[in-house]
């Protein structure tokens, strides 16, 4: 059997563990198998750029952030049917039986479209996908993505550092968090670190109330701002400064952006283990000649059946449109 393994979308810790698990499982269970790493994600597939991987190539990479295969944003893939056709043909021409992908919702949607072409044209390759994204916005009614908990760990560490200096100076810090259109990463990071407020992407913020809450605090206040919230940190700062001035309250405000730092560094144990489990399961299922599918990331050892790619890629069936109210209640109860 011939496998291609690929990482797509924004990199995240855990992708390397996935690659290692695919290579090791395939070559240990059936040594005659070949595994090829696709370089630079979907663009690499369009350009036929692969590298054969052996067991030593993936030694010692499980906990490392990023992805040894690289990944590229390839927006044209979603719009251009010629590119989609080329990718499907390339997979078949290269003789791949399976393409195993760890990626975000762009990768999931691309996989569903290309699977459709592969089936329609009776081409050989089947595609299996698992979620890799710090945003936790891929099929998030079904488990949580690889990389999400690593990014929370990184955020927590940064938020604790900021607390030290905020508390020393009695300051308010406005802290931008990644997460794209989703509030999962900022909210969970905020809950973990006990931040005073998390501004969600589509929230109507009551800044008067926020200012009162800050005034009641003795020393530090950390306000996490979701990536997709439309106001800039400077705009939020000047709104709060005006309110404090009107109330004759003295508060210094600073801002900081955690964004790309949240995506790097060592993987959380749960991401290493869940990515390894999914890589292992996907190879085993491929050896059993499974049809294509989406593998949710629950706990290590979880055995849910894969979802059809077309179902998984339909956000209205598989992803929360916004953060579920129970998580907001949970966060508020701990404030």
Closest among 189, 265, 252, 263 to 226, alpha carbons compared: 189
How near is the Cβ of 121 to ligand F6P at its closest, in Å? Answer: 31
Nearer of residues 3 and 148 to ligand F6P, judged by Cβ: 148
Nearer of residues 37 and 131 to ligand F6P, judged by Cβ: 131
Q: Which residues, including other chains, have CB under 8 Å from residue 93's CB and lie 6 or more apart?
A: none
Q: Which residues, including other chains, have CB under 8 Å from residue 197's CB and lie 6 or more apart?
A: 190, 210, 213, 221, 222, 223, 224, 335
Which residue in the set 115, 227, 271, 285 belongs to the binding site for ligand F6P (CB under 6 A)?
227
Which residue in the set 41, 44, 104, 190 belongs to the binding site for ligand F6P (CB under 6 A)?
104
Q: Does 306 bind ligand F6P (CB under 6 A)?
A: no
> Which pair of tokens denotes residue 135?
């945003």
How near is the Cβ of 304 to ligand F6P at its closest, in Å? Answer: 24
Count of beta carbons in the 10 Å neighbourhood of residue 72: 12
Find the part of the chain contacting ligand F6P (CB under 6 A) among 178-186, 246-254, 273-281, 290-298.
178-186
Q: Does 73 bind ligand F6P (CB under 6 A)?
A: yes
Which residues within the stretch 123-142 sit at the binding site for ligand F6P (CB under 6 A)? 133-135
DSSP state of 58: G
Alpha helices for 264-308 (secondary structure H): 269-287
| Cα–Cα dist 223/200, whole Å | 11
Nearer of residues 25 and 155 to ligand F6P, judged by Cβ: 155
Q: Does 271 bind ligand F6P (CB under 6 A)?
A: no
Is 135 considered catalytic here?
A: yes
Which residue in the set 8, 13, 179, 306 belongs to the binding site for ligand F6P (CB under 6 A)?
179
Alpha helices for the chain (secondary structure H): 15-29, 41-46, 76-79, 81-93, 105-120, 148-169, 184-193, 207-215, 233-246, 259-263, 269-287, 309-312, 315-318, 325-334
Q: Does 178 bind ligand F6P (CB under 6 A)?
A: yes
Sheet strand arrangement including 171-177: 197-199, 221-226, 171-177, 252-257
Integer angstrom CA distances of residue 277 from 17, 54, 127, 131, 141 = 9, 19, 17, 13, 19
Which residues within the stretch 1-20 sit at the binding site for ligand F6P (CB under 6 A)? 9-10
Find the part of the chain contacting ligand F6P (CB under 6 A) among 42-50, 81-89, 175-183, 240-248.
175-183
Q: Do residues 226 and 220 touch, judged by C-beta distance below 8 A? A: no
How near is the Cβ of 105 to ligand F6P at its closest, in Å? Answer: 9
Catalytic residue, candidates 135, 153, 220, 271? 135
Count of beta carbons in the 10 Å neighbourhood of residue 218: 7
Nearer of residues 131 and 179 to ligand F6P, judged by Cβ: 179
How near is the Cβ of 104 to ligand F6P at its closest, in Å? Answer: 5
| Cα–Cα dist 17/31, whole Å | 20
* Position closest to ligand F6P via CB: 10
Q: Does 263 bind ligand F6P (CB under 6 A)?
A: yes
Q: Which residues, including other chains, have CB under 8 Å from residue 247's CB and lie 6 or more apart?
A: 211, 215
Q: Does 146 bind ligand F6P (CB under 6 A)?
A: no
Nearer of residues 153 and 220 to ligand F6P, judged by Cβ: 153
What amino acid positions are annotated as catalytic residues? 135
Residues that bind ligand F6P (CB under 6 A): 9-10, 73, 104, 133-135, 178-180, 227, 263
């Amino acid at each position: 059997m011939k496998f291609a393994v690929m990482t797509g979308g924004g990199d995240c810790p855990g992708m390397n563990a996935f690659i290692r698990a695919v290579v090791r499982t395939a070559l240990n269970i059936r040594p005659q198998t070949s595994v090829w790493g696709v370089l630079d994600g979907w663009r690499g597939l369009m350009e036929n750029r692969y590298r054969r991987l052996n067991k030593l190539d993936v030694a010692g990479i499980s906990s490392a952030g990023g992805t040894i295969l690289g990944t590229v944003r390839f927006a044209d893939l979603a719009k251009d049917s010629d590119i989609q056709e080329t990718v499907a043909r390339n997979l078949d021409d290269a003789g791949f039986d399976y393409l195993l992908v760890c990626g975000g919702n762009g990768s999931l949607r691309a996989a569903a479209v290309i699977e459709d072409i592969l089936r329609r044209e009776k081409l050989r390759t089947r595609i299996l996908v698992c979620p890799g994204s710090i945003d936790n916005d891929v099929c998030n009614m079904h488990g949580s993505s690889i990389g999400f908990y690593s990014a929370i760990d990184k955020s927590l560490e940064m938020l604790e550092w900021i607390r030290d200096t905020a508390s020393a100076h009695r300051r308010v810090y406005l802290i931008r968090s990644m997460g794209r259109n989703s509030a999962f990463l900022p909210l969970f990071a905020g809950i973990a670190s006990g931040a005073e407020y998390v501004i969600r992407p589509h929230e109507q913020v009551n800044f008067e109330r926020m200012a009162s809450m800050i005034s009641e605090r003795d020393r530090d206040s950390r306000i996490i701002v979701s990536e997709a919230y439309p106001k800039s940190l400077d705009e939020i700062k000047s709104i709060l400064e005006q309110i404090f001035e009107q109330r004759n309250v003295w508060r210094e405000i600073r801002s900081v952006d955690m964004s790309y730092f949240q995506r790097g560094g060592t993987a959380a144990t749960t991401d290493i283990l869940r990515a390894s489990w999914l890589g292992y399961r996907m190879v085993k299922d491929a050896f059993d000649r499974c049809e294509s599918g989406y593998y949710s990331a629950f706990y290590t050892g979880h055995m849910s059946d894969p979802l059809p790619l077309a179902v998984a890629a339909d956000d209205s069936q598989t992803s929360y449109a916004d953060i579920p109210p129970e998580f907001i209640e949970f966060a508020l109860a701990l404030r």
